[in-house]
Structure 1
Amino acid sequence: MRMVRHRIGALVAVMCAVLGGAALVTGTAVLAESGIRSHVSAPRIAGADVVVSAAQTLPQDEDLPVALPERAVVPADLVGRLARLPGVTTAAGDVSFPVAAVDGQRVVPAGDAATAGHTWSSVALMGDPPIQGTPPTRPNDVALDAATANDLKIGPGGQAHLVVAGRPATLQVSAVVHGPARGVFFADQAAYQLAGRADGPHKGPKKDTVDLIGLRTQPGAAATVADEARKLGFKVSTGPDIGDIATPSAAAARSLLILIAGSLAGITLLIVGFIVTGALTVSIGGQRRELALLRAVGASPKQVRRLAAAQATVVSAVALVPGVLLGYALAGQFRSLLATLGVLPDALPLTISPLAAIAAVLLLLGVIQVAARLAAWRTSKMPATEAVAESRVEPKNPSPVRTRIGALLMVLATAMSVTPLILRNQFGAVGTATSGIVAAIGLALAGPALVRSLSGALARRLPSRVRATTWLAVSNSHGYALRVAGAVSTLAMAVLFTLTYTMTQTTMMSASSQDVDQGMRAQAVVAAPELGGLPAGTLDKIRATPGVRTAMPVNTTTVLWPHQEEGKHRVESQPALVLTPDAPAVLDLDVRAGSLAGLTGNTVAVSADTASFMDTAVGRDVDLLLGDGTPTKAKVVAVYGRGLGFGPMAISRDLAAGHFGTGLDQAVLVSTDGSAAGLAALGDQPGVKVDTSNPRAGLSGVGGAPPEVYVNLALLAVLLGYILLGVANKLVAGTTQRRHELAALRLVGTTPRQVRAMIRRESALISVVAVGTGLALSVIPLVLLGIGFLGRPWPAGPGWLAPATVLVVVAIAFLATELPARRALRTPPAQVLGSHE
């Protein structure tokens, strides 16, 4: 502890590095834990004690199960069987279907329009909500939730104008439900018909099924009822698991949290490790004299390393607690960002528990222990007399093993950046984003040899008339190559990270946008998201409009690919477009084999990357699972090139029918001859939107830059701030530890002005080497990124990014050395040399 008190400046840098690292690691851990353990809230069935449903996940060997985003159903006759179980007081089967209320030209939301319609019997699953009026019993009766009824300004006995399952209807309001959830409720038989679960105009492939069955039980009987229900072979949920069954699509979003946490974890851990290790190296490097004296008085090498690690742990412990608390707050902001971007449903909360804090603390303590011991390794292993002699100078020659490892890492980073040439998707882009950090770590290891070589070459070429301050700056850089290399590598990492990480995200976004722009042949898109889908007959109206050449319905879904990987069962989830044989008239996916016109029956088209990954080709059959888990075998009829913009897969409408969404078309892409002015009239219908300026909006949910790209861009500011803080702290601590050196220069006649000039020249030299190496190491990854994604040898991104990065890095290099040097020069040199360091 006495050693700690005398090294406050350097240890503050360690504390800042650990605090920021704890915040970043904790925030990432919270996202990962939420992806595993979070549960969706379900006020609509919150009163159910037990819920019986089909399984909504698919197991994998030695991995987390994959969630089904579409609803898997159970037989309707199961309701009666469950109602007869001992202890059951209420058994209610529920279905959902699109319903929206209309007030003139205004659409009044009654919850999620795609799933707002439900059976009246499901109201009992809310608990015992107050009900005003009488239950709906006739096909033209309806019950509204209180909020919707208030928005429409109607009550029992009034008439509500609704769009039900794509058809407009005026229905009699028989009741108003004052419950915790919004919805529109119909007599059970009417609801079954509207959802296509019974004979009628909407009958579909899910006839005689329900989405789920909620059970209310006698007090204390829930566990027994659940055990009995499990014997029937269906999924039985109780407690918080009920919410996941109520909203499968929201529960499926948990896998996205795991994916995002995984994409953040690698880059975050590398940066945190780099910054924390750098700060500890500066701190312990300034204590080489004390550690050498400990060796001289008999301390063993193990004791010296243990002392260095203990000191680092004590200091870090002070920063861990506030860092962890900041991490929880940071995770909350991440979740809000994801919800704002539409990436995460509002119903899915974060899981807040001590596990994330424990994981972050253990991980950082491990990093701190290893880094501190490595920093003290050389001094602890040297003979005591040699350690004391070398405590004021650096080793003459950098370790050749360290240099070779650093060079190997930089070569590895270059090899990693080749992936965009092989995979034109987010997996290919990972190589570029990661290569920058790996190269920076390699530079940190090989840096002393590089700095010594460059400064030695510069010293030999300095003219005899050069100023003394310049000669001192170059000589210092050569003599203290290890110290200078630490500053160079950290500043270079800021350049590398900013350019490679940012350009990776912007290039993916640009390539995706380019794919869609080049592949979109439609001139308009018609959609009705507020109605849960396009009203029935809209497609026929569009096709009958003068000037319309082709109108194709387009939908999105999720397809799963079960396969064996190294002897283990795996399931890959892929977003997919649902297309018809009319696709070639409105979309150009850069078909390289086969034809999209063959998308009829059980057929599928795949992107070139997906075809390679699945080892398939045109004419071959692939085993797939549709979004609700239904197994199918589909023939590949086309392989296309624009997978980044249009997604990895497109399946035929025939294959997807009844197994995705609401049964209503999400959008219609329209190709015209330029004279289809009549399309605008379709927009007069409430809730129907005609967009002639951005037809790509019809592809929402499939293709485009993956969601984690937007999160990564937001995270960039946080990580970059952490890096720059670490850089500044490291430089300040390093300069502060040079007080004795600067004082000695003063005593031999150097003026404060000359010392400051020397410091500035050192900063200039560090900046030039750092910026030069950072730019040089980023060139190859960015060139390969541009070639792989855009077909040109440069990436997409703002032109000001590189100059701004260089300017910030140079400013930090000068300010973080000039300011502490000025402060050190205020103390008389004799006082500095006479003080205990």
Structure 2
Amino acid sequence: MFAAVAVTSALLGALALALGSAGLGHARVERYAAAPVVVAGDQEVRWTTTPWGGETTTEKAGLTERVRIPSTAVDVLRTVPGVRAAVPDVSFVVREPAAAGGPGAASGAGPASGAGAASGSSPLSGSGPAEARVQTGRSWEAARLAPYRLVDGREPRRAGEAVMGAGAGPGLGGGVPGARTGVRVGDTVAGHTVVGIADGPAVLYVTSAEARKLAGHPGAVDAVGILAEPGVPVDTLHARVRAALDRAGLKDTASGQPLRALTGDGRGGAEHLAAPPARQELLQLLAAVSGTVVLVAVLVLASLVAQALQQRAAERDLLLSIGATPRQIRAAAGREVTRVAGLAALLGAVAAVPVFLVLRSTLRARDGVVPEGLELPAPNWLLAASPVLIAVVVVAVTRLVVLFATRRPGRPGKGGTRRVAGIALLTAGVASAGTAAFQGGDAAAAAAGAATVTLVSGCALLGPWIARAATKVLEPAFRGLGGAPGRLTAAGAHAHSRRLGAALVPVVLVTSFALVQLSAGTTMERAADAQARAATTAGLAVSGTTAEQVRKRPGVESATDVLRSSVVLARTEAGTPRLDRLPVLGVDASGLAGTLDPGVVSGDLAGLAGKGTVAVGATMAESLDVKAGSTVELRLGDGTPKRLRVVAVYERSLALGEFLLPKAELAPHMSDPYPARVLAAPERTSTEGPVVPERVSPPGAELNGLVSAVIVAAIGGLTLLSVLSTLTLIGAGRRGELRLLGQVGASAGQLRRMLGIEAGFLTATGLLMGVVVAALPLTAFAWSLTGGLPYLPPAQLGLIAGTVAVTVVAGVFLPASGRRLGR
């Protein structure tokens, strides 16, 4: 009990700390550190609806593309009392050829120029790959919002001049201004002459006029930083700015929402657009797994407590026979649990602190997992308060389990209620698995998860009857092939079916949980990879250029730009309103032949050449009840609502996303509308290997994948500990039985073979039941999302079976090993 409670407390404590850190998380404030108030667009999309039979609710989803604001806001804000300066911030992207003048390079700078790098053998590939270097640019005027100051040279005064930030690059050092980027005054970067070096990140600063021109959206700016007059409090300035914006009625240029006036940590959201949505997705992930963790922990503790109390039934009966009341017995058990579990829970909760800190450090160390600028703080008060709170909760839950297990001391009954409840849970689990087969997306995953937990709970209640049935099936083999140890095993199973059932439950739990968690991911990955390989028919993939430039090169039959962005879909799933942020691709309809084949099942992708069109994945089309000719309402990456006409329905949506949009429809609503790459179909076949398949990734997929893997491993470890603890507890209670068998003539070898047969029985029966429990929801889930059967690599399947077998054998033999068994 001590070990189980300690590990449970450590797991729940680490999860609570992660939730607290994510709840306190925010985007880091860097570029706007000197501006107490920042005016920006609303980077959230909202949907207010009234579901049938419910109350009006408002759903929110973060946007990762820049929501710009009208430049007229600058003039309005400059007239606000207490404002020393209202500084517009405009960003742009330039691409600098890595190998200027090479066959794969294009000269010039700006949002629509750069160098190309091709893979494959063709005139496109030239002398080798030459990746374009991407530089972020801003106006030098906006540097005062940090502030970033010159450390060498002067500010830009005309077009073609630039100041280079010194904060990134190969890190050559040496104390020379600009050495960290390898750039010095007089060098040329992205077609600009460097006239100065500034502190701060490696950003290309140009004049305000050139920044507006290169940004390509006249009449709009990214944000406006407000610098206050000396002595003006932030709250006062914010109230005045808010009032001025309301009077002017200014709205953003995308969805028409009122502009936001940000202060404090909220300013970081205007800098690091991906950080707030990633934080929200991390919170949702942690909240979703919390329920699973709590259910698994309760099952583990309930199994151990019930078995411990069952083994002390004689002691309890004796106390009742000499006058103790049931209430006294419950109170005594509760006090004992508090003594044992209290210290264990506190130690586990304290151990959760370093576990959480290691996890957070791992997330920060891996590039690309945590979005740029996302801060996950862990203040001292959180680290100090969490262990105490978690320890109290774990002890309270353990005492509730004890109270439930001792509700009828001395009157065990025939188990009729338990049997009915178990059958009801199994029925509900099967029904939930059936529901998953007719759902899609997250609804199918949620139904499959609920089915797994419900089926395991039903097996826990029906454990004695399942063990008795399994024993009847295997009894002839025990008696006929096992000799005296086999007959002893069969007799023990008949006499102690409740004990055998308690031993089976954790084995079924760990097997089914591992199978569901691992197989669900591998099934989706395998199906998505297969679809991506089938969908990508291009012979070449070119980066750092555009399809228009590639088509002009000799040997190219067709080419399409591939733009990667996201859209927000408002819909009702399983009766619950939700906003889903989904990855999408923008393509050229005229260049899809020979480059990208989504697997059209109805309609024609040529329709994507028209304005206001979209192609929809077959699963999503079925969920939304749309077909070719229908309309779909989406909110594009910057929140702009669009009603689009469906021109085609395709089947390879796991690889290409649920929506394909025309490039011209998607690009105006992206922060950087440059193609991620160009897929091209050459006249002759490439001899340098296939192109990396085109495949979308859900927002925050890497962060969610890593966190999910850690949590799954932790829960798997807890369930394995449950197997070991339960079997060790049972073994400790059997010492008298084994001693008696030895006294009546059983040899140590016979007892070892008897225990070996029991371990084999528990392993085989538990694995089989775990496979059956996992197969129902997994099959429904896989059929719903991939149209096939679940898949798990044989190596992982063997690892699960081997780990379970080793744990069961250890749990059976450890309490009766060595000299104890010999005596």
Which TM bucket (shorter chain)? 0.7 to 0.9
Contact 2:655 2:696 in 1 (8 A): no
Alignment of 1:288-437 (within 5 A): 288-335=313-360, 340=366, 342-352=368-378, 354=382, 360-361=390-391, 364-379=394-409, 382=411, 399-418=415-434, 421-423=437-439, 425=441, 427-437=443-453
The equivalent of 2:584 in structure 1 is 576
Could you tell me which runs of 5 or more consecutive residues in structure 2 were left unpaired when the two chains were aligned. 49-56, 106-131, 169-177, 247-258
Partner of residue 734 from structure 1, selected from 730, 737, 742 = 730
The one-letter amino acid of 1:582's match is S
The equivalent of 2:565 in structure 1 is 557
The equivalent of 2:531 in structure 1 is 515
Contact 1:604 1:636 in 2 (8 A): yes
Distance 1:594 1:456, change over 3 A: closer
The equivalent of 2:767 in structure 1 is 771
SS in 2 for 1:25: helix
Contact 1:52 1:237 in 2 (8 A): yes
Distance 1:565 1:424, change over 3 A: closer
The equivalent of 1:655 in structure 2 is 665
Contact 1:39 1:240 in 2 (8 A): yes
* Cα distance, 1:430 vs structure 2: 4.5
The equivalent of 1:693 in structure 2 is 690
The one-letter amino acid of 1:447's match is G
The equivalent of 1:121 in structure 2 is 141
The equivalent of 1:541 in structure 2 is 549
TM-score w.r.t. length of structure 2: 0.84
The one-letter amino acid of 2:193's match is Q
Contact 1:645 1:705 in 2 (8 A): no
1-structure distance, mates of 2:228, 2:66: 22
Contact 2:29 2:267 in 1 (8 A): yes
Distance 1:88 1:787, change over 3 A: closer
1-structure distance, mates of 2:357, 2:630: 46
The one-letter amino acid of 1:443's match is C
2-structure distance, mates of 1:732, 1:141: 75
Could you tell me which runs of 5 or more consecutive residues in structure 1 were left unpaired when the two chains were aligned. 1-13, 163-168, 199-206, 383-394, 529-533, 678-690, 829-837
Q: Does 1:19 pair with 2:6?
A: yes
* Cα distance, 1:563 vs structure 2: 5.1
Deviations 1:484-504 (A, max 9, x none): 111112112222222232111
The one-letter amino acid of 2:86's match is A
SS in 2 for 1:696: coil
Contact 1:474 1:762 in 2 (8 A): no
Contact 2:59 2:579 in 1 (8 A): no
1-structure distance, mates of 2:700, 2:520: 14
Q: Does 1:147 pair with 2:167?
A: yes
* Cα distance, 1:669 vs structure 2: 1.3
Distance 1:345 1:322, change over 3 A: farther
Distance 1:52 1:421, change over 3 A: same
Distance 1:103 1:809, change over 3 A: closer
Contact 1:403 1:447 in 2 (8 A): no
Q: Does 1:225 pair with 2:212?
A: no
SS in 1 for 2:189: strand
The one-letter amino acid of 1:507's match is T
Distance 1:744 1:569, change over 3 A: closer
Contact 2:166 2:199 in 1 (8 A): yes
Partner of residue 152 from structure 2, selected from 129, 132, 146 = 132
Partner of residue 161 from structure 1, selected from 160, 166, 189 = 189
The equivalent of 1:502 in structure 2 is 518
2-structure distance, mates of 1:426, 1:509: 16
The equivalent of 1:757 in structure 2 is 753
TM-score w.r.t. length of structure 1: 0.83
2-structure distance, mates of 1:542, 1:304: 82
Contact 1:69 1:252 in 2 (8 A): yes
Contact 2:478 2:486 in 1 (8 A): no
The equivalent of 1:7 in structure 2 is none
Deviations 1:383-419 (A, max 9, x none): xxxxxxxxxxxx6x85122123223323333333345
Contact 2:556 2:681 in 1 (8 A): yes
Q: Does 1:244 pair with 2:269?
A: yes
SS in 2 for 1:661: coil
1-structure distance, mates of 2:479, 2:235: 89
Partner of residue 71 from structure 2, selected from 73, 76, 90 = 76
* Cα distance, 1:597 vs structure 2: 1.4
Contact 1:558 1:626 in 2 (8 A): yes
Partner of residue 486 from structure 1, selected from 476, 495, 502 = 502
Deviations 1:635-656 (A, max 9, x none): 2222222221211112222322
The one-letter amino acid of 1:150's match is A
Deviations 1:277-309 (A, max 9, x none): 222223333333343344345444344334323
The equivalent of 2:252 in structure 1 is none
The equivalent of 1:202 in structure 2 is none
The equivalent of 1:687 in structure 2 is none
Distance 1:454 1:225, change over 3 A: same
Structure 1 window deviating more from structure 2 (606-615 vs 482-491): it is: 606-615
Contact 2:455 2:773 in 1 (8 A): yes
The one-letter amino acid of 1:776's match is V
- What count of residue pairs does the alignment treat as equivalent? 759
The equivalent of 1:213 in structure 2 is 225
* Cα distance, 1:224 vs structure 2: 0.6
2-structure distance, mates of 1:75, 1:126: 22
Distance 1:650 1:363, change over 3 A: farther
SS in 2 for 1:521: coil
* Cα distance, 1:744 vs structure 2: 3.2
SS in 2 for 1:240: helix
Q: Does 1:597 pair with 2:626?
A: no
The equivalent of 1:646 in structure 2 is 656
SS in 2 for 1:142: strand
* Cα distance, 1:361 vs structure 2: 4.6
Deviations 1:726-746 (A, max 9, x none): 211211122112223333334
Deviations 1:24-60 (A, max 9, x none): 3333344444444310113222222111112112345
Distance 1:510 1:128, change over 3 A: closer
Distance 1:676 1:751, change over 3 A: closer
2-structure distance, mates of 1:692, 1:217: 62
2-structure distance, mates of 1:272, 1:717: 14
SS in 1 for 2:634: strand
SS in 1 for 2:582: strand
